[in-house]
Structures are given as structure tokens and as C-alpha cells.
Amino acid sequence: MAILWVAMSFTSNFSNKKNIVPLRISFEHFVGNEILKLDSANYKNALGQTFTVSKFKYYVSNFHFKNSAGKDISMEGSFLINEDEEETKKILLAKIPEGNYTSMDFILGVDSLHSCSGAQSGALDPVNAMFWAWNTGYIFLKLEGRANTSLSPGHFFEYHIGGYKQPINCIRKISFDLSKSEKTLTKEIKIKVNVLEILKTPNAIDFSKLSSVTDLKNATVIADNYKDMFELMPNEK
């Protein structure tokens, strides 16, 4: 009995040590400086064409941090962020504790290993409708909406971007310098995600010319644009 008690207290001590307070990251969706509202709000792209957004979802994966002691901490795995599901916009990095960090990076997309690993569940379950069955791999980002200038039926535009193999690789690495916050304990990182950037630089999207990207054709045009849609938000203290 005594041995059992000792063993139990040891395990509980052990697990207490391992308990970490995970770092939180929240993604806040904007179009320019306006908060993104699905369907109801009108926005303008770089060419002044009016549009609405009906769907906005994307994968972020493989978070990696460097702390002030120069140590690397990383975590494999993917999160599906969906404007239409509020709870998906705040994520908990179970393996990354609150801490003092100098840099952070992650990828937009799903890495090649997890893209061809077969049947998976959770964020990577194909029922999430972010999977290409006919060309194995995940759709990294979906942006859909309407623009009067679009020549597609119903004036819709649809960008479904994926592809993890050369020559068409739409995985983009996103990096942030956190050295300014290195002195303070980081508990939550807020990231502004600007939909307008997907339509802006380096390729200003003209809805009348490119209203549909749903396979590898033209995928990198959009991927090169979404590379800079993330921006660190100042931490309110």
C-alpha cells in the first residue's frame, strides 16, 4: 500500500512538472482596416473593384519559436482557422509554453509529410472540405465571395489554393521578430490577418480576369500574395 502511495505521488509530481501553460494565438480577420464581416460588407480591392467575402479559411502549421535563451521550441501539427467558426480563431499551442520569445514562425499550409500521410482525423480530416481528393493534398486557403466585375456565373470568385510539390508549391513560411517582447512574458500573440493582401501584392487581382483558381493553375499567383497577409498586432497590457 505504501509503495503504491509513493508511486502515485511520484507520478503526480512528475506530471505537475510537465504541466505547461500553453501559449495562445489569436487570428483577427480584417479587410484593410475594417474587421471582416462575411457576406454583408462591401470592400474594394487594389483596382477599386467592389467585393464581398463569403468564406475565408486556411491552415497554419508547424509553429516554431526561439526563446531569449536561444533555445528552439517547435510543435508539429496543423490548425484550421475558419472565419465562420469563431472558436477556431483562437488556438492553444499545447506544446509551447508561455515564455520570453525572440522569434516565431509557422507555415501557411500543410507540410508535404502530412499532405500524403493517408487518412487523418481532427483538423486534417477530409470532411472539413479542405482536401483535394483528385490530386492528393490539402487546400491551404479558401477565399470565396462575390464581385460584380467577376465574369463567373453569379459573379462569384473562388480561390482554393493548394499544392505542396515543386514546381507548384504554395506553402509559405511566415516569420515574426518578437525580440521587442523578449523582456516580457508572452501569454498571447495576436495576429492581424488582412484579406486585402491576398488580392494585392505582388499580383493585383482583377476579378474580371481571374475569378477562379481551384487547381494548380495560377495557384502561386495567389500564394505569393497571401505570404504577407499576416501582421503582428501590438500586445495590449
Partner 1 sequence: MKNKIVYTLFILIAVFALCNSFVIENPYFKITKKDVKLKIPKGFPKPNYSFKKNKLNPDVFVLGRKLFYDNLLSKDNSVSCGTCHQRIAAFAHIDHKLSHGIYAKIGTRNVPALQNLIWKDAYMWDGGVTNLEVQPINPITSPIEMDESLANVILKLRANKEYVKLFNKAYKDTLINSERVLKALAQFTGLMITSNSKYDKYMRKKDTFSLAEKNGLQLFRSKCASCHKEPLFTDNSYRNNGIKMDSSLNDFGRGKLTEIEKDYKTFKVPGLRNVEMTYPYMHDGRFKKLKDVIDHYSNSANHDERVDTLITKIGSLSAQQKKEILSFLLTLTDKEFLHDRRFADPNMLQ
Asked if residue 222 binds partner 1 (CB under 8 A), the reply is no
Report whether 32 contacts 186 (CB < 8 A). Answer: no
CB of 75 to partner 1, least distance (A): 21
Does residue 133 interact with partner 1 by CB under 8 A? yes
Binds partner 1 by CB under 8 A, chosen from 7, 116, 185, 233? 116
Is residue 113 at the binding interface for partner 1, with CB under 8 A as the rule?
A: no
Longest alpha-carbon distance in the chain? 77
> Which window, 2-10, 54-62, 124-132, 199-207, contacts partner 1 (CB under 8 A)?
124-132
CA 32 from chain centre, in angstroms, equals 18
Is 126 among the residues that bind partner 1 (CB under 8 A)? yes
Which residues on adjacent β-strands are paired with residue 64?
Answer: 74, 105
Pairing of strands 72-82, 212-213: unpaired
Residue 216: count of CB within 10 angstroms of its CB: 18
The correct pick among 11, 13, 117, 175 for binding partner 1 (CB under 8 A) is 117
Q: ω before 126 within 30° of 0 (cis)?
A: no
Nearer to partner 1, 19 or 121 (CB): 121
DSSP 135: T
CB of 148 to partner 1, least distance (A): 29
Binding residues for partner 1 (CB under 8 A): 116-121, 125-127, 129, 131, 133-136, 167-168, 215-217
